[in-house]
Copies of this chain bind each other. A is one copy, B any other.
């Protein structure tokens, strides 16, 4: 799961996943969408493979990549799901619930200093 977030930390890799969202694509077709060399793209693919975010299928000379949507789902929703996402936003937690006192700073009370 750490690997997934690592993989998602690069914009190029995120866009690869978005391209793969629509359809499986070959390595070459994917590479055509980015202004970097093929070996560089290959390295990005390796990171995505490492994170188990894509499936690979070799057909003839081509290598076809497929998005593993469930892995992306599990990682992202699993993380964000630990937060109370979607729950009603707590308007303003009563400061009595805070683990520290929000002491009104004394300087705000120095009323004697006119």
Write the residues of chain A forming the contact surface with B, with a CB cutoff of 8 angstroms: 2, 5-6, 8-9, 11, 14, 17-18, 21, 23-26, 29, 59-60, 62, 64, 67, 69, 72-73, 76-77, 79-80, 82-85, 89, 93, 97-100, 102-103, 105
| A80 to B, closest residue via Cβ | B76
Contact B5 A14 (CB under 8 A): yes
**B residues in contact with A69, CB < 8 Å:** 83-85, 89
**B residues in contact with A64, CB < 8 Å:** 100
Contact A85 B77 (CB under 8 A): yes
Contact A99 B9 (CB under 8 A): no
**B residues in contact with A29, CB < 8 Å:** 99-100
Docked pose: A64 CA to B67 CA in angstroms: 40
| Contacts beyond the supplied A8-B9, A62-B100, A77-B85: 16 A-B pairs with Cβ under 8 Å | A5-B5, A9-B9, A18-B83, A23-B97, A23-B98, A24-B93, A25-B99, A29-B99, A59-B102, A59-B103, A69-B83, A69-B85, A72-B80, A72-B83, A73-B80, A76-B79
